[in-house]
A and B are shown apart, each in its own frame.
Chain A
């Protein structure tokens, strides 16, 4: 896929976005950078036959918001405003996202009426959960509106990575989130290798694909456990937690780390798998697959479990498309969107088709089922890749070095996009938009109308990370 960088005058910003949208573009990300003469704006748009990066210099006047063109851009524009001071005309009200102002009306939706009240949750939660604040506006138990206040964990990772070498920068992408470490690192590596004019050989593509699927395996098992925990169904939560532990031990045996840390490097081969260990672990993957399928069957036959999952937290396919939902959340709503199925020549997915639940009802039940179905597919890919004889992963020259590179990987939570701007081997700007970042606003959209006690369940069925949204 070719990347075309297209500078546009600031007053043509919206028109350029509309042109792309008319050609069928999807928003991949919008972000700001600190240019030589003030902040600059970037928008990466995925068109049917090209990736287009619009760039605009910003002279202090407001830029036209593209919220109406791409509703998924809501958080991106608010983040660019909070971090770089860019004002977006037409994005009203432009509520604070990264900033935490004390005045309620600067970050919260005003909700008035008979019997309405607020329920504040977080940033510290009752269980072992990441930090973030939820403000529910409710009448009785019924949720009218949810305002998210995340970015409590904002560590400024993207800014901290600026000025590092391309090789060192990958640690910042990886550390954004442990549960998506491989997806973020591979996306970074793809972007960095595009900058250096390198492409992975077949062996490296297979090695990275294997790592991505190992990450999906333990995450999906974790998510099924979390969904059971969300309704207080301890036998299911514990059974899938035990399977997740087995998957993480498998990771440790194959890569030396339970979260597969430091397995992706730029333009260098990852640690090679031991052939005999890989062979033994194929049996373990098959056993895990059988145990997960058996566990899922039990959940299907537990009537009280099914009754809690069905019809809760419904996302329609139209809303999923409009809001730019990604990953299992989108697929469970019937949107067959999966970056793995796009035949990326930098990974090894072949003719993979996006999974779909039997009924893509977009509720918690569909999101749970989607993960159970996807686990089978993931185990199949892992088994296939482990069966191959040891290879020599490497990169080879492929074209001229570029100042900007992009990477795109389907993480367990959805499409992760990484954009790198570099001069030589020095990283000038890193932007990471993970599946969680894309899906948090979708969660806030899905929750109203549901009961407050169902929120933990809906939240678990999305199972988004706070860390990789906050960065």
Chain B
């Protein structure tokens, strides 16, 4: 085990990942609404030592009750529309929905239309769009860290405004 840890340590030194100059965090919940498993592989890869999204405070959490962002992959099948809505409704406000991959964005979907409940943006309000078939871990990382930056600046903005109001 120590050899493995040593190798991982060396890998991290070689990669020299930039330190997270960010405040805040986002809890992510993933729902596969009918993907080909490509987006899942790449989303999992963002937690690998090469990308390590957790250093930005971006964590996949087990329950939608703990989540800020719903990451949806795949064209929404008729059988996943119900569970997807249930997960969304379980999330506390404020909440964001991210369409991860071309299928979730409704691009080049291959399927029998009768098996689909419709494009994701007809079912839920989509806030973040991550295109690609599948998007690479780097693209996923960029979009999520970008969203984190936007949200933290927005939050400090609303906080400032809040303190100015009578």
Residue among A156, A172, A241, A465 making CB contact with B45, cutoff 8 Å: A241
B95 at the interface (CB under 8 A from A): no
Which residues from B are CB-within-8-Å of A129? 32, 40
Residues of chain B within 8 A (CB-CB) of A152 are 34, 77, 79-80, 83
Task: Give the residue of B3, B41, B44, B87 whose beta carbon is less than 8 angstroms from that of A294.
Answer: B3
| B63 with A126: CB separation less than 8 A | yes
* B151 adjacent to chain A (CB < 8 Å): no
A256 at interface, CB cutoff 8 A: no
| Cα distance A467–B44 in the bound complex, in angstroms | 16
Question: Is A61 at the interface (CB under 8 A from chain B)?
Answer: no
Interchain Cβ contacts within 8 Å, total number: 134
Contact between chains at B37 and A155 (CB < 8 Å): no
A142 beta carbon closer than 8 Å to chain B:
no
Pick from A156, A181, A235, A238: contact of B48, CB below 8 A.
Answer: A238
- Report if A241-B49 is in contact (Cβ < 8 Å); known contacts: A127-B60, A154-B115, A155-B112: yes
Instruction: Kindly state the separation between the CA atoms of A160 and B34 in the bound complex, as whole angstroms.
Output: 15
* Min CB–CB distance A338 → chain B (angstroms): 23
Please state if A154 and B43 are interface contacts (CB–CB under 8 Å). no
A157 CA / B113 CA spacing, docked (Å): 10
- For residue A348, CB closer than 8 A to chain B, the reply is no
- The interface residues of chain A lying within 8 Å CB-to-CB of B32 are 124, 129-131, 153, 466
Question: Roughly how many angstroms separate A154 CA and B74 CA in the complex, as a whole number?
Answer: 11
B115 and A179 contact, CB distance less than 8 A: no
Closest 10 pairs (CB-CB, A-B): A156-B112, A178-B38, A126-B62, A155-B111, A241-B48, A156-B115, A235-B4, A467-B37, A160-B112, A131-B32
User: Within the complex, which residue of A159, A181, A242 is in contact with B8, where a contact is CB–CB below 8 Å?
Assistant: A242
CB contacts (< 8 Å) of B80 on chain A: these are 123, 131, 152-153
Instruction: Flag if A157 contacts B110 (CB, 8 Å).
Output: yes
Q: Does residue B31 face the partner (Cβ distance < 8 Å to A)?
A: yes
Interface digits, B21-64 against A, CB 8 Å rule (1 contact, 0 not)?
Answer: 00000000011111111101111110111100000000010110
Say whether B36 contacts A176, CB under 8 Å: yes
- Check if A1 is an interface residue, CB within 8 A of chain B: no
A154 & B41 in contact (Cβ 8 Å cutoff): no
Contact with B along A163-204 (1 / 0, CB 8 A): 000000001100111110100000000000000000000000
B11 touches A153 (CB 8 A): no
Q: Is B155 an interface residue (CB 8 A)?
A: no
Report the nearest B residue to A174, measured CB to CB: B36
A171 vs B32: C-alpha distance when bound (angstroms):
21
Q: Is A387 an interface residue, CB under 8 A from the partner?
A: no
Q: Which residue of B lies closest to A126 (CB)?
A: B62
B49, A242: Cβ atoms closer than 8 Å: yes
Q: Compute how far the CA of A469 lies from the CA of B108 in the bound complex, rounded to whole angstroms.
A: 21
Q: Which A residues touch B137, using CB under 8 A? A: 245
User: Interface size (A, Cβ < 8 Å)?
Assistant: 48
In angstroms, Cα B49 to Cα A235, docked, is: 10
Q: Does A414 contact B (CB under 8 A)?
A: no
CA distance A171 to B39 in the complex (A): 17
CB distance from A296 to the nearest CB of B (A): 11
- The reply to whether A155 and B1 contact each other, CB–CB distance below 8 Å, is no
Contacts A178-B38, A238-B48 given; does A298 touch B4 at CB 8 Å: yes
Quick one: which of B11, B33, B79 contacts A242, CB cutoff 8 A?
Answer: B11
B residues near A, CB below 8 A?
Answer: 1, 3-5, 7-8, 11, 30-38, 40-45, 47-50, 60, 62-63, 74-75, 77, 79-80, 83, 87, 110-112, 114-116, 133-134, 136-137
Question: How many Å from the CB of B127 to the closest CB on chain A?
Answer: 20
CA distance A468 to B37 in the complex (A): 9
- Is residue A222 within 8 Å, beta carbon to beta carbon, of the partner chain? yes
CA distance A468 to B11 in the complex (A): 34
B49: chain A residues within 8 A (beta carbon): 238, 241-242
Q: Are A258 and B136 in contact (CB under 8 A)?
A: yes
Do the beta carbons of B75 and A128 come within 8 Å of each other? no
* Contact among A178, A222, A248 with B36 in the assembled complex (CB-CB below 8 Å): A178
Contacts of A449 in B (CB 8 A): none
Q: How far is the CA of A261 from the CA of B49 in the complex (A)?
A: 25
> Can you name 21 A-B residue pairings with CB atoms under 8 Å?
A124-B31, A124-B83, A127-B60, A128-B40, A128-B43, A128-B44, A131-B34, A152-B83, A153-B34, A153-B74, A154-B79, A155-B77, A155-B110, A176-B36, A181-B38, A238-B49, A244-B45, A248-B45, A291-B7, A294-B3, A298-B4
| CB neighbours of A239 from chain B (8 A) | 4, 7-8
A58 at interface (Cβ–Cβ under 8 A)? no
A-side contacts of B116, CB under 8 Å: 155
Give the residues in chain B near A179, CB-CB below 8 Å.
Answer: 37-38, 41
Residues of A within 8 A of B35 (CB): 130, 153, 467
- Do residues B77 and A154 form an inter-chain contact, with CB atoms below 8 A? yes
A31 at the binding interface (Cβ < 8 Å): no
Contact A235 B111 (CB under 8 A): no
Please encode chain A, from 415 to 433, with 1 for each CB lying within 8 Å of some chain B CB and 0 for all others. Answer: 0000000000000000000
As a 0/1 sequence over residues 43 to 66 of chain A, the CB contacts with chain B under 8 angstroms (1 = contact) are 000000000000000000000000
Q: Mark A135-169, 1 if CB is under 8 A from B, else 0.
A: 00000000000000001111111011000000000
Which A residues touch B36, using CB under 8 A?
A: 175-178, 181, 467
Q: Is A295 an interface residue (CB 8 A)?
A: yes
* CB of A334 closer than 8 Å to a CB of B: no
- Of all chain B residues, the one with the shortest Cβ separation from A225 is B48
In the complex, are the beta carbons of A235 and B37 less than 8 A apart? Answer: no
* B4 close to A236 (CB less than 8 A): yes
Q: Is A100 an interface residue (CB 8 A)?
A: yes
Is A13 interfacial (CB 8 A cutoff)? no
CA distance A456 to B74 in the complex (A): 23
